[in-house]
Structure 1
Amino acid sequence: MSYQHILVAVDGSPTSDHAVAQAAALARATGGRIRLLNVMDPLAHISGFERPEVYSQEVLPRLRKAGEALLQQASARVKQEGVAVDTVLIENLNARVAQLVVEHASAWGADLIVLGTHGRRGLERVLMGSDAEQIARTSPVPVLLVRLPAGAAPHIA
């Protein structure tokens, strides 16, 4: 299969950065293009005590700016590899991140979804949930889960 439309969900983590690098190498080999997707999750960054005007005038713009910066950094790395790339920032209002990624992949016509994964197991995975696992289960297209190479030290942001 020749992957021409590769969707990469990015969140700024080391595993996400590694997934971008792997997707860029794959796209370069197949002559494909990449769409970088960041799902902005405002509800994960508020306490519930913010006044509505503070939320709309301070919290949301700050999150949008951070999401756009993340996408631009990843986009620059892909362009350095000579791969066509575009970016999409989605604001999550009330859905699971996994659902939004799968819906976007279908709407865009992705041939492949590439995700970084932390490889959590057991109780840690149960407690934290796994968007990567949910995407892999529900995606209509193949999903490539990318982990950091053995011995790679994840940086703490």
Structure 2
Amino acid sequence: MAPSLADRRVPARPTRIDQDQGEPPPTASGSDTRGAAPACRGGDRMYKRILAAVDGSPNSYRAVERAAIIAKTQNAELVLANVEPRQPVPESLRQFARVEHLDEGATETWENIARAVLHRASSEATEAAGGELKIREETMIGDPADAILDAADAENPDLIVVGNRGFSQIKGLILGSVSQKLAANAHVDVLIVK
């Protein structure tokens, strides 16, 4: 009697994803793939363009760092997107603008805050990637989730990266729902960074 499928199963080996913990497991061909970009079945890079949303909150900068690392490993373009909502500037962002030494008269404008946020995000992305990285910056106006979805339609990214919570007047409610709306409505992969 032939063994059943259950009898023929080979136990799965745990796979390490942190290269600092040791050598990666060998591939089926025995070749070493360290440093190579993960590929899809066709051998193409998994992600060619990554859209990272940043609003100046700590979680959004963590999302940018994660997006930069992925972009570096995939040799992908990183598009940093900031949305200027149509509402008063919260005090936390006004303080950020002052810390970034923006003109005192301009600290309450979303445009200047967006420039400062994108500049810092670009610097942090370059640092996280360890140097050279293809980065573009985009500023949009409107509802954050809708604007990011529109940017995804226009930019055609393979991945959207966003923090799970950002700045909002009602802590976590508004921008927490941005990540939920993106995950529910985007036509590409969405990575929500905590």
Establish whether TM, by shorter chain, passes 0.5: yes
- In the alignment, structure 1 residue 40 sits paired with structure 2 residue 84: yes
- Give the corresponding residue for 1:27: 71
> Which aligned runs of 4 or more in structure 1 are off by greater than 4 angstroms?
58-61
Determine the C-alpha separation between the residues in 1 that align with 2:50 and 2:182: 14
- Give the corresponding residue for 2:27: none
- In the alignment, structure 1 residue 10 sits paired with structure 2 residue 54: yes
- In the alignment, structure 1 residue 88 sits paired with structure 2 residue 138: yes
CA-CA distance at 1:45 after TM superposition:
3.2
- In the alignment, structure 1 residue 102 sits paired with structure 2 residue 149: yes
Read off the aligned partner of 1:62 and give its amino acid letter.
T
Unpaired runs of 5+ residues, structure 1, are 47-57, 148-157
Deviations 1:3-32 (A, max 9, x none): 110000001111111101111110111110
- C-alpha spacing 1:20/1:107, structure 2 compared with 1 (3 Å): same
Secondary structure of the residue aligned to 1:19 is helix
Aligned equivalent of 1:116, options 147, 163, 185:
163
CA-CA distance at 1:79 after TM superposition:
2.6
Bigger helix fraction: 1
Q: Bigger shift: 35-44 or 136-145?
A: 35-44
TM-score (norm 2): 0.60
CA-CA distance at 1:44 after TM superposition:
3.9
Read off the aligned partner of 1:113 and give its amino acid letter.
I
Whose radius of gyration is greater, 1 or 2?
Answer: 2
Determine the C-alpha separation between the residues in 2 that align with 1:59 and 1:65: 7
CA-CA distance at 1:131 after TM superposition:
0.7
Determine the C-alpha separation between the residues in 2 that align with 1:60 and 1:16: 20
Determine the C-alpha separation between the residues in 2 that align with 1:35 and 1:69: 16
CA-CA distance at 1:83 after TM superposition:
1.4
CA-CA distance at 1:61 after TM superposition:
7.2
On the 8 A contact 1:42/1:60 being kept in 2, the answer is no
On the 8 A contact 1:6/1:113 being kept in 2, the answer is yes
| Matched residue count | 128
Determine the C-alpha separation between the residues in 1 that align with 2:160 and 2:190: 5
Determine the C-alpha separation between the residues in 1 that align with 2:89 and 2:106: 8
Secondary structure of the residue aligned to 1:88 is strand
- Give the corresponding residue for 1:75: 122
- Structure with more relative contact order (C-alpha pairs < 8 Å, separation 6 or more): 1
CA-CA distance at 1:106 after TM superposition:
1.3
- C-alpha spacing 1:44/1:61, structure 2 compared with 1 (3 Å): closer
Secondary structure of the residue aligned to 1:43 is coil
Determine the C-alpha separation between the residues in 1 that align with 2:87 and 2:107: 10
Determine the C-alpha separation between the residues in 2 that align with 1:24 and 1:73: 13
Determine the C-alpha separation between the residues in 1 that align with 2:163 and 2:154: 21
Determine the C-alpha separation between the residues in 2 that align with 1:103 and 1:45: 23
Unpaired runs of 5+ residues, structure 2, are 1-39, 41-45, 91-104
